[in-house]
Amino acid sequence: MRQFVAPYLNKNSRVLDAGCGRWNNLIDPTDVQELVGIDRNSRAIAENRSISRGIVADLEALADVDLGEKVDFVMCVDVAEHLSDPIRFVANVARVLKVGGYFFIAAPNKVCMAGIATALLPTRAIKFLYRLVEGIETPNETHYYRLNTVSSMDGCLRSMGFDDLHFVVFSPRMGRRGSMRWWLLSPDYVIGRMGLLKHYSLQILCLARLAVPLPDGGSRTNLEQRPGRQGTSVIKREPRRLHKRSSVS
């Protein structure tokens, strides 16, 4: 994923990591002017050593956070599935991002075995499985999957003034055999290797440019609509191949 975002960053970039959690493995804070992390988990903010500045706040109230001037780049990694109101979140991103700036989303695909399983299972069941398999405690995060398909991202982002959308869908590495990640990815990896369900992969990467500022009051859209794909680039990647991509075409 680093190769996906690197061409859009430089030493003068101000970056916002929305839902930064305890770490960031995409951007080295020394490679940009400032890397601000926002998360509602104060402990995660305190433990995160990969951000220049940390702010404890709810992402769906992002526009109310004092960031100073607008930022050049916003990234949101493994957070979209937890958003109860993704339209409001994307609208707030458009308000804190400079025109011409970029918004990067990395999220699990709703239409895959792992996505279906986590969407159907209650939070307590997911926490129990992680304790059983990994021996770790996971946060009490609800999975909504309201912005976790190419079509929903495309429609929502365009309604908020974004254009030049690029998507990559792929199945990432499966991780240690027997781990929770391994169990979640195995069905999708096997299905992908068999050549079935070629339009679906576990992970979606999206990069979009803010073309016009969001007007006061914002804009809303129905996420169930399926807009046209003019100007949208969708690339299917085979499992384990993402690291070979150096830039977005």
Residue 50, in any domain of the structure: yes
Residue 219, in any domain of the structure: yes
- Is residue 212 pLDDT above 70, yes or no? yes
Residue 197, in any domain of the structure: no
Domain that holds residue 97: 2-107+142-172+203-244
- Other CB atoms within 10 Å distance of the CB of residue 222: 10
Number of domains into which the chain is organized: 1
Residue 60, in any domain of the structure: yes
CATH number at residue 233: 3.40.50.150
**Mean pLDDT, residues 207-223 taken together:** 73
Which band of pLDDT confidence, cut at 50, 70 and 90, is reported for residue 48?
A: very high
- Is residue 245 pLDDT above 70, yes or no? no
**Considering all CA atoms of the chain, what is the largest pairwise distance in Å, rounded to the nearest integer?**
50
Residue 132, in any domain of the structure: no
Q: Under DSSP, is residue 233 helix (H, G, I), strand (E, B) or coil?
A: strand
Residue 249, in any domain of the structure: no
CA–CA distances in Å: residue 7 to residues 122, 153, 162, 210, 245: 39, 22, 18, 16, 12
Residue 233, in any domain of the structure: yes
Is 165 within 8 Å of 154 (Cβ atoms)? yes
Residue 48, in any domain of the structure: yes
Mean residue pLDDT across the chain = 77
**Mean pLDDT, residues 43-59 taken together:** 92
Predicted model pTM: 0.75
Q: pLDDT tens for residues 74-122? A: 999 989 988 999 999 999 999 999 999 999 999 988 876 666 666 666 7
Is 20 within 8 Å of 45 (Cβ atoms)? yes
* Predicted pLDDT at 221: 47
